[in-house]
Amino acid sequence: MARKFHRKRHYPAPPGTGATPKGEHLPVLMNEVLSTLNPQPGQTIVDCTLGFAGHASEMLQRIGATGMLIATDWDADHLPRATANLQALNLPFQTHHSNFAGVQNVLLGQGILQVDGLLADLGMSSMQIDDAERGFSFLRDGPLDMRMDRTRGRTAAELLQSSSQEELATWFHELGDEPAAEAIASAIVQERANNPILTTKQLRTIIDAAAPIVPLIGPGFPPVRKQKLLPATRVFQSLRIVVNRELANLQQLLRVLPTLLKPGGTAAIISFHSGEDRIVKTAFRDGLRQGLYAEGSDDPIRPSEEEKQANPRSRSAKLRWVRVAKEQETE
């Protein structure tokens, strides 16, 4: 079977300027997702990361009354609003409270073996980040939770209290690319010996003290600019990934993905972290070499400058896709 690689393609982004308005979430790479998956009337499409149904609503309208949308989300807080958004379209769909690693079981439970298209957007919603009670952001003081599913698993606070200094340093280095990983891990262990670290403000104070921001001097006025990513950004990202076992869940999805797609079916995955993107890139590359897929993207599809201006949180998004062979294609 011939394997085809496709170079990066660019599509127009939704109009608009400025940051994401409070209480809203802008789905990233919308036009690119629709162009890649190309939903058609009568198809069965899976959205593994429903969120507030931004991508799902557009896909549901394209598959229409003869199609079926199956949508899952790990965060139960998303489901009521997303369901209401989809119900307004008066078209067939199902929603399930499930991690995308379990999407195969969800489909089997509905008697569905394969689908025409699958989307996984690995990013977080703006509302998750902006909700201080979730503990995802160091910009808002709140409990150190960070669980996508608040009904199970250890919180970030519990993880910080029970993990060794070596484990913490490894996470901050490997998952956050943090140069001061050892110093921050050491400071956390010293602090927790006296006081439990329970809030985002506590953790950021420790990080800022252990890894002071070093200004980068550049031309122009003002001449001083901050480093691109704060240590707190890297550490919080690392903890969120560990708390939710995000990389392990992604690897499980990628393992079953080839079996979930019908002949000619397409999968698209949007990642926001270099570790996630490496896993997706490797899995898709290996699948192409093994003949599990017939074609796929060689380079990731990135947001346009217009989209990055309209939605700054899209700036690190990367979309990769693969497609299995059609039935008439032969070796």
282-306 pLDDT, tens per residue?
999 999 999 999 999 989 999 999 9
The whole-angstrom separation of Cα 214 and Cα 236 is 19
Pairing mode, strands 216-217 and 224-225 = antiparallel
Contact of 200 with 131, CB cutoff 8 Å: no
Residue 120, pLDDT score: 97
pLDDT-derived band at 222, boundaries 50, 70, 90: low
- Residue 239 — left, alpha, or beta (φ > 0 → left; ψ -120 to 50 → alpha)? alpha
Please name each of the domains of the chain with its CATH number.
4-127+246-323 (3.40.50.150), 150-243 (1.10.150.170)
Digit-coded pLDDT (tens) for 136-148:
999 999 999 999 9
User: How much is the mean pLDDT over the chain?
Assistant: 89
State the residue for tokens 């209480």: 23
User: What is the tens place of the pLDDT at every residue in 66-118?
Assistant: 999 999 999 998 899 999 999 999 999 999 999 999 999 999 999 999 999 99
pTM, full prediction: 0.85
What pLDDT does residue 219 have?
Answer: 61
In three state form, how does the secondary structure of the chain look?
Answer: CCCEEECCCCCCCCCCCCCCCCCCCCCCCHHHHHHHHCCCCCCEEEECCCCCCHHHHHHHHHHCCCCEEEEEECCHHHHHHHHHHHHCCCCCEEEEECCHHHHHHHHHHCCCCCEEEEEEECCCCHHHHHCHHHCCCCCCCCECCCCCCCCCCCCHHHHHHHCCHHHHHHHHHHCCCCCCHHHHHHHHHHHHCCCCCCEHHHHHHHHHHHCCCCCEECCCCCCEECCCCCHHHHHHHHHHHHHCCHHHHHHHHHHHHHHHEEEEEEEEEEECCHHHHHHHHHHHHHHHHCCCCCEEECCCECCCHHHHHHCHHHCCCEEEEEECCCCCCCC
Could you tell me the end-to-end alpha-carbon distance of the chain, in angstroms, rounded to an integer?
Answer: 4
